[in-house]
Amino acid sequence: MIEREALIGRIVDHPHIVQSYPPFMTRTDLFLVQKAYGGGELYEALESYSRSAAVGRGGASGEGPLGLPVTIVKRLARELAEALQYLHEKCGVAHRNIKLENIALDDENSVRLGGLGMCAVLPTSRATPAVRDGDAMNGTGADDSELHLCCGSKHYVAPEIVQGVGYDGASVDVWAAGVVLFALLTGSFPFDSETSEEEIFHRIKNADKFLEENPLFQSMDDPQAKDLLRNMLRGNAKARFSLSEVLEHPYLKNVK
């Protein structure tokens, strides 16, 4: 995984992806060198803001969502989508490990997507020869029509990964970006459960039903936000939005 992140880091060059420098090796270890960003992790920023908002309500978290301000959410969501579109269309790879902890904020509080160690070549992609060769060595070459490795964190995995079937890497990235968008808006995950991990996966496998039943989703007063989330979090991967559709959606289209 470290080798793959080093490989991808040498190739990518995008304002919303973590900047990498040439790695170095000792006799026993390979070290990645990446730029440090002053804004920290997006997860920490969201957690801090949500905690402050709850304190401002006297600890009454049930009075509504504890997400970031909508104008900030829209900008961050668009920047994440642009970073993913670059990975998919220019580099020919899917990220496959999108989560708040893998998104840094730079000094201007803009997205810097990291955690590239689970990237995989997209089938029939225009990946650079270096990426194709690197993935072939890791057993995930571009000849297959689908990806099969189960990866990602539990709150962010798409239904098809939970079901253990082959999947389209671009589509699972859209799903995970939808989870990030929901979390930024509400301070919570869309399919979270206090009972068990199995219940989380059950809800993910029945995403359309449980999204509509989520009280935080129901309480959203912006129909465009709800429409975008519905289409990014479709249980049927073939019905899910592409990144182009995400970026062209009215909720994000004119965001600067």
Name the CA dihedral angle for 169, 248, 74, 92, rounded to a multiple of 10 degrees.
30
Over 90: is that where the pLDDT of 63 sits?
Answer: no
The pLDDT value given to residue 141:
41
**pLDDT of 214-248, one tens digit each?**
999 999 999 999 999 999 999 999 999 999 999 99
Question: What CATH code is carried by the domain that includes residue 227?
Answer: 1.10.510.10
Q: Which residues pair with 24 in a beta bridge?
A: 31
Burial string for 170-199 (b: 16+ CB within 10 Å, else e) reads bbbbbbbbbbbbbbbbbbbbbbeeeeeeee
Over 50: is that where the pLDDT of 36 sits?
Answer: yes
Q: Which domain holds residue 215?
A: 2-57+66-248
Q: Report the distance separating Cα 116 and Cα 23, nearest Å.
A: 14
Check: CB of residue 235 under 8 Å from CB of residue 205. yes
Number of domains in the chain: 1
Could you give the maximum distance between any two Cα atoms of the chain, in Å? 57
What contacts 24+ positions apart, CB below 8 Å, involve 25-32? 30/2, 30/3, 30/6, 32/2, 32/5, 32/6
Over 50: is that where the pLDDT of 88 sits?
Answer: yes
The pLDDT value given to residue 30:
72
The pLDDT value given to residue 172:
96
Whose tokens are 């969201």? That residue is 46
The pLDDT value given to residue 144:
52
Is there a domain that residue 256 lies in?
Answer: no
Q: Report the distance separating Cα 47 and Cα 184, nearest Å.
A: 10
Helix, strand or coil for residue 7? helix
pTM: 0.86
User: Which band of pLDDT confidence, cut at 50, 70 and 90, is reported for residue 118?
Assistant: confident
Q: Report the distance separating Cα 81 and Cα 98, nearest Å.
A: 11
Is there a domain that residue 254 lies in?
Answer: no
Is there a domain that residue 30 lies in?
Answer: yes
Is there a domain that residue 255 lies in?
Answer: no
**pLDDT of 18-30, one tens digit each?**
987 666 677 777 7
With a pLDDT cut of 90, the percent of the chain lying above it is 62
Over 90: is that where the pLDDT of 181 sits?
Answer: yes
Q: Report the distance separating Cα 60 and Cα 62, nearest Å.
A: 5
Check: CB of residue 74 under 8 Å from CB of residue 255. yes
Is there a domain that residue 207 lies in?
Answer: yes
**CA-wise closest residue to 82 among 215, 248, 213, 251:** 248
Q: Determine which of 73-82, 118-127, 168-177, 184-193 has the lowest per-residue pLDDT on average.
A: 118-127
The pLDDT value given to residue 163:
92
Report the chain's mean pLDDT, rounded to a whole number.
86
The pLDDT value given to residue 143:
41
Q: Report the distance separating Cα 136 and Cα 45, nearest Å.
A: 37
Over 50: is that where the pLDDT of 139 sits?
Answer: no
Is there a domain that residue 221 lies in?
Answer: yes
